[in-house]
Structure 1
Amino acid sequence: MRSTGSWYDIADEQGNKYIGRLRGKLKQEEMKSNNPIAVGDYVDFEIENVEQNTVLINDILERENYLIRQSTHRKNQAHIIAANIDQAMLIATLVFPRTSLGFIDRFLVSAEAYRIPTLVIFNKKDLLEGDGLVFQEELVEMYKKIGYESLAISALDKNDIQKINALLEGKKTLISGHSGVGKSTIINHIAPYLGLETGDISDYSLKGTHTTTFAEMFEIRPKTYLIDTPGIKELGLIDIEAEEISHFFPEMRERFGQCKYYNCTHLHEPDCAIVKAVENGEIAQSRYESYLSMVMGEDNRK
């Protein structure tokens, strides 16, 4: 339910709560991840101390899926954000702070790679007007068109919170995004008894302050779970080869087989169906630019 790095909060099938730590042999195994156990993992454990309610974790069961990103400290290591989730909800904002389209698309590619349905929620619509509102609606429609549930909301609007709440029912949902986009505020409106801390936006940097230190899962209703995560500053792709990236763009994937060359990279080859679709406005220019930055390995993680 919660990972602090060395200790883990665990709930069993009956709802009993324990504090667990990894057995030594698991610690010593070579791991590509800097966090061998993630929130959402199922584990096998045994009671260590009845009085202190501590347990030893013997094994991590096979994951159905997980969301992963490149470790911010070690570029050759991964960090598992959460495991065994039904859907991800990415909270984005166009102001205070601004979420880049490149970041949104990297998140979607990471989720697509592990077949995790993702909702794209644009918060703080109450801070926009005129062209800003029009642009936000265009983005909502763009993501809907390629198969993602997308909404523009205000965390201060009760009707909008009800819409979000309905999307969570009966699922295990990871909520993610930059610091300051309103994740904790949204969760507090949905489940006020959790009392999550919220932070202010810096006037200087227009970025949020980190209020969630560790990932944590809450059961807000029977069979309905929310996973709150620390704000992600940048999202580096890992374990995805350049030639595979187009597979995780739904609008590109549906055009496979239409290019002149079977191994088309969709960069410079003649008669490329993807490039033609971009030129014809069938694929959004911003999405193609995100694809290019990922394939070329440009630093567009923020």
Structure 2
Amino acid sequence: NPPTFFSFIDRFLITAEAYQIQAILLFNKMDTYSEEEKQEVKRMQSVYQKIGYTCHQISSFKKEDVDFVSRLMEGKSSMFSGHSGVGKSTLINSIAPDLNLKTKIISEQHQQGQHTTTYAEMFDLDGNARIIDTPGIKGFGVVDMESEELGNYFPEFLKIKNSCKFNNCLHVDEPKCAVKEGVENKTIAASRYKSYLQLLEEDTPYRN
């Protein structure tokens, strides 16, 4: 299974926040994980659930999980996105077998997926649902976000930013910063703050 890191997930989430798109985290392939990997998933899930994101552990080969995801999609246009090899096309095939999307085996040497979807494509499903299948990606760029607004797309930062001493606090070197205090007392995950600093340091119109 190709590894997925906090920073990769966070880039998706802040983009979804910026465009007011509901994001749900699906931890797929749970039937293939070792106990150690399951504990890591549990740790990641805890971080995002604490913020308020909906998270689910699933397997594309368990009918109850597939039915559950199908219900989430009813009446909506949904998009599955993530690294190559995380099982996006397999999950869609389980939801709608008639689509018969191509899938490939993970590269044993590099632990990376091999591209099977080469462009985004939308399909109509039962239940007035639509699904967009996207190519697997190795990196995710964040576009057109100014440094001053970046923190607003971290919900846990936005919630307490009015407690910062300065109205224009960037949560880096400023004194009496509520966000930094949150990191210190562990009410804000260190991984999230690290993602924020990485994006802030890139300081370009296109952060990749």
Normalising TM by the smaller chain, what interval?
Answer: over 0.9
State the distance in 2 between where 1:266 and 1:187 align.
40
1:201 and 2:201 are equivalent in the alignment: no
How big is each residue's C-alpha offset from its partner over 1:155-192, in whole Å with a ceiling of 9 and x where there is no partner? 22222212211111111101111111000000000000
State the distance in 1 between where 2:146 and 2:81 align.
24
Structure 2 alignment gaps of length 5 or more: none
The 8 Å contact of residues 202 and 208 in structure 1, kept in 2 or not, is answered as: yes
Q: Which has the higher contact order (CA 8 A, sep 6+)?
A: 2
User: Structure 1 stretches (4+) deviating beyond 4 angstroms?
Assistant: none
RMSD of aligned alpha carbons: 1.6
Structure 1 alignment gaps of length 5 or more: 1-95
Letter matched to residue 179 of structure 1: S
Match runs of 1:78-227 below 5 Å: 96-227=1-132
Letter matched to residue 115 of structure 2: H
Percentage of pairs with the same residue: 46
Using the TM superposition, give the Cα deviation of residue 128 of structure 1 relative to its aligned residue in structure 2, in angstroms. Answer: 2.1
Please name the residue that 2:182 is paired with: 277
Which structure is higher in helix share?
A: 2
Letter matched to residue 262 of structure 1: N
The 8 Å contact of residues 110 and 237 in structure 1, kept in 2 or not, is answered as: yes
Per the normalisation by structure 1, the TM-score is: 0.65
The 8 Å contact of residues 243 and 295 in structure 1, kept in 2 or not, is answered as: no
- Secondary structure of the 1:196 match is coil
Letter matched to residue 277 of structure 1: G
Letter matched to residue 134 of structure 2: T
Please name the residue that 2:142 is paired with: 237
Using the TM superposition, give the Cα deviation of residue 256 of structure 1 relative to its aligned residue in structure 2, in angstroms. Answer: 1.8
Letter matched to residue 291 of structure 1: Y
State the distance in 1 between where 2:36 and 2:111 align.
20
How big is each residue's C-alpha offset from its partner over 1:44-94, in whole Å with a ceiling of 9 and x where there is no partner? xxxxxxxxxxxxxxxxxxxxxxxxxxxxxxxxxxxxxxxxxxxxxxxxxxx
State the distance in 1 between where 2:191 and 2:38 align.
18
Letter matched to residue 250 of structure 1: P
State the distance in 1 between where 2:118 and 2:96 align.
19
How big is each residue's C-alpha offset from its partner over 1:191-236, in whole Å with a ceiling of 9 and x where there is no partner? 0000000011111111111111221111111421101111122111
State the distance in 2 between where 1:184 and 1:99 align.
17
- Secondary structure of the 2:55 match is strand
The 8 Å contact of residues 74 and 127 in structure 2, kept in 1 or not, is answered as: no
1:294 and 2:202 are equivalent in the alignment: no
State the distance in 1 between where 2:11 and 2:112 align.
19
1:252 and 2:152 are equivalent in the alignment: no
Match runs of 1:40-55 below 5 Å: none
Using the TM superposition, give the Cα deviation of residue 132 of structure 1 relative to its aligned residue in structure 2, in angstroms. Answer: 2.2
State the distance in 2 between where 1:168 and 1:192 align.
16
Letter matched to residue 72 of structure 2: L
Count of aligned positions: 206
